[in-house]
Amino acid sequence: MRIGLHQLRNNLFLAPMAGVTDRPFRQLCKRLGAGMAASEMVSSNSLLWGSDKTLRRADHSGEQEPRAVQIVGADPAMMAEAARFNVDRGAQIIDINMGCPAKKVCNVMAGSALLRDEALVARILRAVVAAVSVPVTLKIRTGWDRAHKNGVQIARIAEDCGIQALAVHGRTRADLFQGEAEYETIAAIKQAVSIPVIANGDIDSPEKAAAVLRQTGADGVMIGRAAQGNPWIFREIQHYLATGEKLPPPSIEEVRDTLIAHLHNLYDFYGEYRGVRVARKHISWYSKGLVGGAVFRHRVNQVETAAAQLEMVREFFDRQMQKVGLAA
């Protein structure tokens, strides 16, 4: 699969998620099979560009190419300037967020709120495409609400404006993350445009990925929440699509070692104080479903140092390995 001049190694995408897809997590998912992983969304408000949060989100040091940055906003000129700013800092692909359903984003008429104004969508897309020499992609939902599913119209506008790939979450803005994703609109979008279309929403297993690709005819799939605590999902989907066979899940030892390496990367990236706090949600996701996980999560969320956090993680997963050994 290609986006502009960039040849991706496969058609598996990590969905941009605020507070989740920082550089350490993107690097991990790419190592385990994701063909592309865009940054957390960066605001088009230039007043925020000097903040620690924005500078971290625009940090691509050592990141596997292509380096993609997602921008969000509602003003065409500001969005164009945000695209230039991020390309100057190393972005090789600019992704535009018109899919986020969060109130704080939609209340300023950004994210999926833009789907209500097709003329403004066109102005933003044209401005961003004209502002940079790198490929520009777009993330949308199927519409504003179920009575206004204008995903096909938006997709045609995007193609006309020079967008080079389109990711579609199979819900409307009003749906948030409730109910089940629907793929009929994604299939209709794929039929309506010639640019690559990536299907997103509720893809949580290799079998589901294959089924969605069949149902929609999409060129790729995008994984979001299902990758939280399970970055191996990319490896598993890639193997299943290639062979029709399922890989065994990662061993407890691999989960432990991957998590510990991930924690070290978080501490290096954020510093110890912030890194320990960011790590808590990842530890929670990795330990979900394991025996004694709830008690462990309560205890580990109380510690304040990297050393204590690492020690508790090692002890917890070592106990899991012992239980597996006894059961065998």
Distance CA 326, CA 328 (A): 5
- 216-226 burial, b if ≥16 CB within 10 A, otherwise e? bbbbbbbbbbb
Mean pLDDT of 80-86: 93
For tokens 């995903």, the residue is: 151
| CB 38, CB 95: distance < 8 Å | yes
202 lies in the same domain as 118? yes
57 lies in the same domain as 154? yes
The predicted pLDDT at position 89 comes to 87
The predicted pLDDT at position 56 comes to 77
The predicted pLDDT at position 323 comes to 80
In this predicted model, what pLDDT tens digit does every residue of 256-269 receive, in sequence order?
999 999 999 999 99
Host domain of residue 9: 2-243
**Final residue before a domain boundary, out of 191, 215, 243:** 243
* Percent with pLDDT over 90 in the chain: 77
19 lies in the same domain as 88? yes
- Cis, peptide link before residue 101, omega less than 30° from 0: no
Q: Is the pLDDT of residue 322 over 50?
A: yes
148 lies in the same domain as 204? yes
Residue 138's φ and ψ, nearest 5 degrees, are -140, 140
In this predicted model, what pLDDT tens digit does every residue of 113-164 receive, in sequence order?
888 899 999 999 999 999 999 999 999 999 988 888 999 999 999 999 999 9
- β-strand pairing of 68-72 with 93-98: parallel
Distance CA 102, CA 222 (A): 19
Mean pLDDT of 219-229: 98
Mean pLDDT of 58-86: 90
| CB 15, CB 140: distance < 8 Å | no
Q: Is the pLDDT of residue 185 over 70?
A: yes
236 lies in the same domain as 259? no
Distance CA 228, CA 233 (A): 10
What's the structural domain count of the chain? 2
Catalytic site positions: 100
The predicted pLDDT at position 328 comes to 43
